[in-house]
Structure 1
Amino acid sequence: MSSNPQLLTRLKYEMDLFKKDPPPGVQVWNANGERVDSLEASIIGPDETPYEHGIFKLTITLPTRYPFEPPDIKYVTRIYHPNVDDQGRICLDTLKMPPQGSWGPAHNLSTTLTTIRLLMAHPNPDDPLMKEITEQYRNNHQLFIKTAKEFTKKYAIDSQQQQTVNKKQTNENEKNTSTSSTTSTTSTTESIDSDTPNKKRNRDDDEEEQVEKEKEETLEKGSFKHQKTNNDPEETKEEEPEEEQEEEDVWE
Protein backbone atom coordinates (compact mmCIF):
# COMPACT_ATOMS: atom_id res chain seq x y z
CA MET A 1 0.00 0.00 0.00
CA SER A 2 2.94 2.33 0.52
CA SER A 3 3.41 2.37 -3.25
CA ASN A 4 0.04 4.16 -3.72
CA PRO A 5 1.14 7.80 -4.14
CA GLN A 6 -2.40 9.21 -4.05
CA LEU A 7 -3.17 7.50 -0.76
CA LEU A 8 0.16 8.62 0.69
CA THR A 9 -0.50 12.22 -0.33
CA ARG A 10 -4.02 12.17 1.03
CA LEU A 11 -2.96 10.57 4.32
CA LYS A 12 -0.17 13.12 4.82
CA TYR A 13 -2.68 15.91 4.22
CA GLU A 14 -5.11 14.50 6.77
CA MET A 15 -2.49 13.85 9.44
CA ASP A 16 -1.39 17.47 9.05
CA LEU A 17 -5.01 18.48 9.67
CA PHE A 18 -4.98 16.57 12.96
CA LYS A 19 -1.85 18.43 14.05
CA LYS A 20 -3.07 21.89 13.04
CA ASP A 21 -6.67 21.55 14.19
CA PRO A 22 -7.09 18.47 16.41
CA PRO A 23 -10.74 17.57 17.01
CA PRO A 24 -11.82 17.41 20.67
CA GLY A 25 -11.46 14.00 22.29
CA VAL A 26 -10.00 12.29 19.20
CA GLN A 27 -6.51 10.98 18.39
CA VAL A 28 -5.18 9.10 15.35
CA TRP A 29 -1.84 7.42 14.72
CA ASN A 30 -0.24 4.99 12.31
CA ALA A 31 -0.45 1.47 13.70
CA ASN A 32 2.12 -0.02 11.32
CA GLY A 33 4.79 2.11 9.69
CA GLU A 34 4.91 -0.25 6.73
CA ARG A 35 1.18 0.02 6.02
CA VAL A 36 -0.21 3.50 5.56
CA ASP A 37 -3.68 2.10 5.05
CA SER A 38 -3.85 0.80 8.64
CA LEU A 39 -4.44 3.31 11.41
CA GLU A 40 -5.60 3.33 14.99
CA ALA A 41 -7.63 5.92 16.83
CA SER A 42 -8.99 6.67 20.27
CA ILE A 43 -12.10 8.53 21.29
CA ILE A 44 -12.65 9.93 24.77
CA GLY A 45 -16.22 9.39 25.94
CA PRO A 46 -18.21 12.65 25.83
CA ASP A 47 -19.01 14.35 29.13
CA GLU A 48 -22.43 13.79 30.70
CA THR A 49 -22.91 10.51 28.84
CA PRO A 50 -22.63 6.88 30.02
CA TYR A 51 -19.27 6.78 28.22
CA GLU A 52 -17.74 9.65 30.19
CA HIS A 53 -14.13 9.05 31.36
CA GLY A 54 -13.80 6.07 29.00
CA ILE A 55 -11.15 5.78 26.28
CA PHE A 56 -12.43 3.80 23.32
CA LYS A 57 -9.96 2.42 20.79
CA LEU A 58 -10.83 1.95 17.13
CA THR A 59 -9.17 0.55 14.03
CA ILE A 60 -9.22 2.34 10.67
CA THR A 61 -8.63 0.60 7.36
CA LEU A 62 -8.39 2.81 4.28
CA PRO A 63 -9.54 1.37 0.93
CA THR A 64 -7.40 1.74 -2.18
CA ARG A 65 -9.79 4.32 -3.63
CA TYR A 66 -9.91 6.43 -0.48
CA PRO A 67 -11.25 9.17 -0.23
CA PHE A 68 -13.70 8.19 -2.97
CA GLU A 69 -14.75 5.25 -0.79
CA PRO A 70 -15.34 5.44 2.96
CA PRO A 71 -12.88 4.03 5.49
CA ASP A 72 -13.71 0.91 7.45
CA ILE A 73 -13.82 1.98 11.10
CA LYS A 74 -14.56 -0.40 13.97
CA TYR A 75 -14.53 -0.22 17.75
CA VAL A 76 -11.92 -2.40 19.43
CA THR A 77 -13.12 -1.45 22.90
CA ARG A 78 -16.50 -2.92 23.74
CA ILE A 79 -19.29 -0.38 23.98
CA TYR A 80 -22.96 -0.69 24.91
CA HIS A 81 -24.64 1.33 22.17
CA PRO A 82 -27.68 0.92 19.86
CA ASN A 83 -25.61 1.69 16.75
CA VAL A 84 -22.56 -0.50 17.47
CA ASP A 85 -22.67 -4.29 17.35
CA ASP A 86 -20.60 -6.88 19.22
CA GLN A 87 -17.96 -6.89 16.47
CA GLY A 88 -17.48 -3.14 16.79
CA ARG A 89 -19.17 -2.30 13.49
CA ILE A 90 -20.79 1.12 13.38
CA CYS A 91 -24.10 1.98 11.76
CA LEU A 92 -23.55 5.52 10.48
CA ASP A 93 -24.57 7.21 7.22
CA THR A 94 -21.16 8.83 6.91
CA LEU A 95 -19.54 5.40 6.61
CA LYS A 96 -21.79 4.30 3.74
CA MET A 97 -21.73 5.09 0.05
CA PRO A 98 -24.77 6.75 -1.54
CA PRO A 99 -27.64 6.11 -1.91
CA GLN A 100 -27.68 4.25 1.44
CA GLY A 101 -25.21 6.68 2.99
CA SER A 102 -23.67 10.11 2.64
CA TRP A 103 -19.96 9.46 2.17
CA GLY A 104 -18.11 11.67 -0.28
CA PRO A 105 -14.50 12.76 -0.92
CA ALA A 106 -15.17 15.99 1.00
CA HIS A 107 -15.21 13.95 4.20
CA ASN A 108 -12.00 13.14 6.03
CA LEU A 109 -10.91 11.15 9.07
CA SER A 110 -11.16 14.14 11.38
CA THR A 111 -14.78 14.92 10.54
CA THR A 112 -15.72 11.23 10.46
CA LEU A 113 -14.30 10.43 13.90
CA THR A 114 -15.92 13.58 15.27
CA THR A 115 -19.25 12.34 13.90
CA ILE A 116 -18.70 8.95 15.56
CA ARG A 117 -18.02 10.67 18.87
CA LEU A 118 -21.20 12.71 18.41
CA LEU A 119 -23.10 9.46 17.82
CA MET A 120 -21.91 8.29 21.24
CA ALA A 121 -23.63 11.27 22.83
CA HIS A 122 -26.72 11.05 20.62
CA PRO A 123 -27.59 7.49 19.56
CA ASN A 124 -29.88 7.03 16.56
CA PRO A 125 -32.59 4.50 17.51
CA ASP A 126 -34.16 4.84 14.05
CA ASP A 127 -31.16 3.15 12.40
CA PRO A 128 -30.03 0.55 14.95
CA LEU A 129 -27.67 -2.38 14.82
CA MET A 130 -28.59 -3.83 18.21
CA LYS A 131 -32.33 -4.41 18.51
CA GLU A 132 -32.44 -5.28 22.22
CA ILE A 133 -30.26 -2.34 23.24
CA THR A 134 -32.38 -0.03 21.10
CA GLU A 135 -35.60 -1.21 22.75
CA GLN A 136 -34.04 -0.68 26.15
CA TYR A 137 -32.84 2.77 25.09
CA ARG A 138 -36.41 3.69 24.13
CA ASN A 139 -38.45 1.94 26.82
CA ASN A 140 -36.18 1.72 29.86
CA HIS A 141 -33.68 4.51 29.47
CA GLN A 142 -32.44 4.43 33.06
CA LEU A 143 -31.48 0.78 32.74
CA PHE A 144 -29.74 1.54 29.45
CA ILE A 145 -27.71 4.30 31.13
CA LYS A 146 -26.80 2.00 34.02
CA THR A 147 -25.67 -0.85 31.74
CA ALA A 148 -23.73 1.45 29.41
CA LYS A 149 -21.88 2.92 32.41
CA GLU A 150 -21.01 -0.57 33.63
CA PHE A 151 -19.61 -1.47 30.20
CA THR A 152 -17.59 1.73 30.14
CA LYS A 153 -16.15 1.08 33.58
CA LYS A 154 -15.34 -2.53 32.74
CA TYR A 155 -13.89 -2.18 29.24
CA ALA A 156 -12.93 1.47 28.63
CA ILE A 157 -11.36 2.58 31.91
CA ASP A 158 -8.11 1.06 33.17
CA SER A 159 -7.04 1.04 36.82
CA GLN A 160 -5.04 4.26 36.58
CA GLN A 161 -7.91 6.05 34.86
CA GLN A 162 -10.31 4.72 37.49
CA GLN A 163 -8.16 6.21 40.25
CA THR A 164 -8.25 9.56 38.46
CA VAL A 165 -12.02 9.33 38.06
CA ASN A 166 -12.50 8.39 41.72
CA LYS A 167 -10.31 11.30 42.81
CA LYS A 168 -12.28 13.69 40.62
CA GLN A 169 -15.59 12.43 42.00
CA THR A 170 -14.29 12.74 45.57
CA ASN A 171 -13.25 16.35 44.93
CA GLU A 172 -16.66 17.10 43.44
CA ASN A 173 -18.41 15.55 46.46
CA GLU A 174 -16.25 17.57 48.87
CA LYS A 175 -16.98 20.71 46.88
CA ASN A 176 -20.72 20.02 47.00
CA THR A 177 -20.53 19.34 50.76
CA SER A 178 -18.61 22.57 51.32
CA THR A 179 -21.14 24.51 49.27
CA SER A 180 -24.02 22.97 51.24
CA SER A 181 -22.33 23.84 54.55
CA THR A 182 -21.73 27.42 53.44
CA THR A 183 -25.35 27.76 52.39
CA SER A 184 -26.53 26.44 55.78
CA THR A 185 -24.25 28.86 57.66
CA THR A 186 -25.47 31.76 55.56
CA SER A 187 -29.09 30.83 56.25
CA THR A 188 -28.42 30.67 60.00
CA THR A 189 -26.67 34.05 59.94
CA GLU A 190 -29.52 35.58 57.99
CA SER A 191 -31.99 34.16 60.52
CA ILE A 192 -30.03 35.68 63.42
CA ASP A 193 -29.75 38.99 61.60
CA SER A 194 -33.48 39.00 60.92
CA ASP A 195 -34.21 38.36 64.62
CA THR A 196 -31.95 41.19 65.81
CA PRO A 197 -34.16 44.05 64.50
CA ASN A 198 -37.17 42.40 66.15
CA LYS A 199 -35.38 42.18 69.48
CA LYS A 200 -34.21 45.78 69.16
CA ARG A 201 -37.72 46.90 68.28
CA ASN A 202 -39.16 45.09 71.32
CA ARG A 203 -36.52 46.68 73.55
CA ASP A 204 -37.34 50.13 72.19
CA ASP A 205 -41.05 49.52 72.82
CA ASP A 206 -40.32 48.57 76.44
CA GLU A 207 -38.21 51.71 76.93
CA GLU A 208 -40.93 53.92 75.47
CA GLU A 209 -43.52 52.28 77.73
CA GLN A 210 -41.31 52.93 80.78
CA VAL A 211 -40.81 56.59 79.79
CA GLU A 212 -44.57 57.06 79.38
CA LYS A 213 -45.16 55.49 82.77
CA GLU A 214 -42.65 57.84 84.39
CA LYS A 215 -44.30 60.81 82.68
CA GLU A 216 -47.71 59.80 84.05
CA GLU A 217 -46.31 59.45 87.56
CA THR A 218 -44.67 62.87 87.29
CA LEU A 219 -47.90 64.46 86.10
CA GLU A 220 -49.84 62.86 88.97
CA LYS A 221 -47.35 64.22 91.52
CA GLY A 222 -47.50 67.68 89.96
CA SER A 223 -51.29 67.66 90.02
CA PHE A 224 -51.35 66.66 93.68
CA LYS A 225 -48.90 69.39 94.62
CA HIS A 226 -50.87 72.01 92.72
CA GLN A 227 -54.09 70.94 94.44
CA LYS A 228 -52.47 71.21 97.87
CA THR A 229 -51.16 74.69 97.15
CA ASN A 230 -54.58 75.93 96.09
CA ASN A 231 -56.15 74.66 99.34
CA ASP A 232 -53.79 76.65 101.67
CA PRO A 233 -55.36 80.11 101.04
CA GLU A 234 -58.78 78.74 101.89
CA GLU A 235 -57.50 77.54 105.25
CA THR A 236 -55.98 80.99 105.83
CA LYS A 237 -59.24 82.69 104.96
CA GLU A 238 -61.12 80.56 107.46
CA GLU A 239 -58.75 81.61 110.27
CA GLU A 240 -58.87 85.39 109.59
CA PRO A 241 -62.26 86.03 111.30
CA GLU A 242 -60.95 84.52 114.54
CA GLU A 243 -58.02 86.97 114.56
CA GLU A 244 -60.36 89.90 114.04
CA GLN A 245 -62.56 88.69 116.91
CA GLU A 246 -59.57 88.56 119.22
CA GLU A 247 -58.61 92.11 118.29
CA GLU A 248 -62.12 93.35 119.10
CA ASP A 249 -61.94 91.77 122.53
CA VAL A 250 -58.76 93.58 123.27
CA TRP A 251 -60.22 96.99 122.42
CA GLU A 252 -63.19 96.40 124.56
Structure 2
Amino acid sequence: MANSNLPNRIIKETQRLLSEPAPGISASPSEVNMRYFNVMILGPTQSPYEGGVFKLELFLSEEYPMIAPKVRFLTKIYHPNIDKLGRICLDILKDKWSPALTIRTVLLSIQALLSAPNPDDPLSENIAKHWKSNEAEALETAKEWTRLYASGA
Protein backbone atom coordinates (compact mmCIF):
# COMPACT_ATOMS: atom_id res chain seq x y z
CA MET A 1 0.00 0.00 0.00
CA ALA A 2 1.47 3.27 -1.08
CA ASN A 3 0.49 5.68 1.63
CA SER A 4 3.72 7.60 1.89
CA ASN A 5 2.03 10.83 0.82
CA LEU A 6 -1.13 10.26 2.86
CA PRO A 7 -1.74 12.50 5.85
CA ASN A 8 -1.69 10.72 9.21
CA ARG A 9 -5.32 11.54 9.75
CA ILE A 10 -6.43 9.56 6.70
CA ILE A 11 -4.22 6.62 7.72
CA LYS A 12 -5.72 6.64 11.23
CA GLU A 13 -9.29 6.95 9.99
CA THR A 14 -8.74 4.12 7.50
CA GLN A 15 -7.29 1.86 10.19
CA ARG A 16 -10.25 2.58 12.46
CA LEU A 17 -12.78 1.92 9.67
CA LEU A 18 -11.17 -1.43 9.00
CA SER A 19 -10.65 -2.45 12.63
CA GLU A 20 -13.97 -1.17 14.05
CA PRO A 21 -16.49 -1.17 11.23
CA ALA A 22 -19.80 0.54 11.95
CA PRO A 23 -22.76 -1.88 11.92
CA GLY A 24 -24.13 -2.31 8.42
CA ILE A 25 -21.30 -0.34 6.82
CA SER A 26 -18.07 -1.44 5.24
CA ALA A 27 -15.52 0.91 3.73
CA SER A 28 -12.17 -0.10 2.36
CA PRO A 29 -9.61 1.97 0.50
CA SER A 30 -8.77 1.11 -3.07
CA GLU A 31 -5.34 -0.45 -3.43
CA VAL A 32 -4.61 1.89 -6.32
CA ASN A 33 -5.58 5.10 -4.54
CA MET A 34 -5.80 5.21 -0.76
CA ARG A 35 -8.00 8.32 -0.94
CA TYR A 36 -10.68 6.38 -2.79
CA PHE A 37 -12.94 4.11 -0.76
CA ASN A 38 -15.29 1.38 -1.85
CA VAL A 39 -18.24 1.56 0.48
CA MET A 40 -21.16 -0.79 1.09
CA ILE A 41 -24.12 0.21 3.22
CA LEU A 42 -26.81 -2.28 4.13
CA GLY A 43 -30.33 -0.91 3.90
CA PRO A 44 -31.47 -0.16 7.47
CA THR A 45 -34.15 -2.38 8.99
CA GLN A 46 -37.62 -0.85 9.11
CA SER A 47 -36.81 1.19 6.00
CA PRO A 48 -37.85 0.54 2.39
CA TYR A 49 -34.17 -0.21 1.73
CA GLU A 50 -34.08 -3.12 4.18
CA GLY A 51 -32.39 -6.14 2.64
CA GLY A 52 -30.55 -4.02 0.09
CA VAL A 53 -26.80 -3.71 -0.30
CA PHE A 54 -25.86 -0.28 -1.61
CA LYS A 55 -22.49 0.42 -3.16
CA LEU A 56 -21.06 3.90 -2.81
CA GLU A 57 -17.79 5.56 -3.62
CA LEU A 58 -16.10 8.00 -1.29
CA PHE A 59 -13.19 10.18 -2.26
CA LEU A 60 -11.00 12.34 -0.04
CA SER A 61 -9.56 15.32 -1.88
CA GLU A 62 -6.19 16.88 -1.13
CA GLU A 63 -8.03 19.45 1.03
CA TYR A 64 -9.60 16.83 3.34
CA PRO A 65 -10.39 17.31 6.23
CA MET A 66 -10.88 21.01 5.50
CA ILE A 67 -13.50 20.09 2.91
CA ALA A 68 -15.99 17.23 2.98
CA PRO A 69 -15.37 13.92 1.26
CA LYS A 70 -17.09 13.41 -2.07
CA VAL A 71 -19.57 10.57 -1.77
CA ARG A 72 -22.03 9.12 -4.21
CA PHE A 73 -24.24 6.10 -4.61
CA LEU A 74 -23.22 3.68 -7.36
CA THR A 75 -26.31 1.54 -6.75
CA LYS A 76 -29.55 2.98 -8.13
CA ILE A 77 -31.81 4.06 -5.28
CA TYR A 78 -35.25 5.65 -5.10
CA HIS A 79 -34.78 8.34 -2.48
CA PRO A 80 -35.75 12.05 -2.43
CA ASN A 81 -32.29 13.12 -1.24
CA ILE A 82 -30.28 11.12 -3.79
CA ASP A 83 -30.37 11.95 -7.48
CA LYS A 84 -30.04 9.65 -10.47
CA LEU A 85 -26.29 10.27 -10.60
CA GLY A 86 -26.04 9.05 -7.02
CA ARG A 87 -25.29 12.47 -5.57
CA ILE A 88 -26.46 12.90 -2.01
CA CYS A 89 -28.15 15.91 -0.48
CA LEU A 90 -26.85 15.92 3.07
CA ASP A 91 -25.98 19.06 5.05
CA ILE A 92 -22.70 17.70 6.43
CA LEU A 93 -21.46 17.04 2.89
CA LYS A 94 -22.07 20.70 2.11
CA ASP A 95 -22.41 23.75 4.36
CA LYS A 96 -22.48 21.87 7.67
CA TRP A 97 -19.17 20.10 7.09
CA SER A 98 -16.60 20.42 9.85
CA PRO A 99 -13.05 19.02 10.00
CA ALA A 100 -14.08 17.42 13.30
CA LEU A 101 -16.26 15.00 11.32
CA THR A 102 -14.82 11.77 10.00
CA ILE A 103 -15.45 9.33 7.16
CA ARG A 104 -17.24 7.16 9.72
CA THR A 105 -19.58 10.02 10.74
CA VAL A 106 -20.38 10.71 7.09
CA LEU A 107 -21.24 7.07 6.39
CA LEU A 108 -23.38 6.79 9.53
CA SER A 109 -25.22 9.97 8.47
CA ILE A 110 -25.88 8.54 5.01
CA GLN A 111 -27.14 5.34 6.61
CA ALA A 112 -29.46 7.43 8.82
CA LEU A 113 -30.69 9.31 5.73
CA LEU A 114 -31.85 5.96 4.31
CA SER A 115 -33.98 5.49 7.43
CA ALA A 116 -35.33 9.03 7.35
CA PRO A 117 -35.74 10.48 3.85
CA ASN A 118 -36.35 14.22 3.86
CA PRO A 119 -38.58 15.23 0.92
CA ASP A 120 -38.49 18.85 2.15
CA ASP A 121 -34.84 19.20 1.16
CA PRO A 122 -34.86 17.17 -2.03
CA LEU A 123 -32.21 16.54 -4.62
CA SER A 124 -34.65 14.67 -6.80
CA GLU A 125 -37.75 16.85 -7.26
CA ASN A 126 -39.86 14.11 -8.87
CA ILE A 127 -39.18 11.57 -6.15
CA ALA A 128 -39.80 14.20 -3.44
CA LYS A 129 -43.15 15.12 -5.05
CA HIS A 130 -44.06 11.44 -5.18
CA TRP A 131 -43.03 11.04 -1.52
CA LYS A 132 -45.16 13.99 -0.44
CA SER A 133 -48.22 13.21 -2.57
CA ASN A 134 -48.32 9.46 -1.97
CA GLU A 135 -45.80 8.28 0.59
CA ALA A 136 -47.09 4.70 0.63
CA GLU A 137 -46.64 4.37 -3.13
CA ALA A 138 -43.20 6.04 -3.00
CA LEU A 139 -42.14 3.57 -0.30
CA GLU A 140 -43.35 0.70 -2.49
CA THR A 141 -41.27 2.04 -5.40
CA ALA A 142 -38.26 2.38 -3.09
CA LYS A 143 -38.73 -1.26 -2.00
CA GLU A 144 -39.08 -2.36 -5.61
CA TRP A 145 -35.87 -0.53 -6.63
CA THR A 146 -34.11 -2.08 -3.66
CA ARG A 147 -35.18 -5.53 -4.90
CA LEU A 148 -34.18 -4.71 -8.48
CA TYR A 149 -30.88 -2.93 -7.99
CA ALA A 150 -29.60 -3.59 -4.48
CA SER A 151 -30.27 -7.26 -3.93
CA GLY A 152 -26.52 -7.88 -3.78
CA ALA A 153 -26.71 -9.93 -6.98
TM-score normalised by length of structure 1: 0.58
Higher relative contact order (CA 8 A, sep 6+): 2
Q: Distance in 1 between matches of 2:124 and 2:18?
A: 35
Gaps of 5+ in 2: none
Look up the match of 1:35. Answer: 33
Q: Distance in 2 between matches of 1:158 and 1:67?
A: 32
**CA deviation after TM superposition for structure 1 residue 4, in Å:** 2.8
Look up the match of 1:15. Answer: 14
Question: 1:158-195 CA deviation, whole Å, 9 max, x = no partner?
Answer: 45xxxxxxxxxxxxxxxxxxxxxxxxxxxxxxxxxxxx
**CA deviation after TM superposition for structure 1 residue 5, in Å:** 3.8
Paired positions, count: 152
**CA deviation after TM superposition for structure 1 residue 126, in Å:** 1.8
The alignment's C-alpha RMSD in Å is 1.5
Residue 109 in 1 paired to residue 103 in 2?
yes
Question: 1:51-89 CA deviation, whole Å, 9 max, x = no partner?
Answer: 000000001111101111111000000000000000000
Q: Decide whether the 8 Å contact of 1:2 with 1:34 is kept in 2.
A: no
Q: Could you say if the C-alpha distance between residues 153 and 5 of structure 1 is closer, same or farther in structure 2, counting changes exceeding 3 Å?
A: closer
**CA deviation after TM superposition for structure 1 residue 34, in Å:** 2.9
Question: 1:17-44 CA deviation, whole Å, 9 max, x = no partner?
Answer: 224432111100122x231111110000
Judging by fraction of residues, say which structure has more helix.
1
What is the aligned counterpart of 1:58 among 45, 56, 76? 56
Look up the match of 2:119. Answer: 125
Gaps of 5+ in 1: 160-252
Residue 71 in 1 paired to residue 69 in 2?
yes
For residues 1-252 of structure 1, the aligned pairs below 5 Å read: 2=3, 4-6=5-7, 9-31=8-30, 33-96=31-94, 101-159=95-153
TM-score normalised by length of structure 2: 0.93
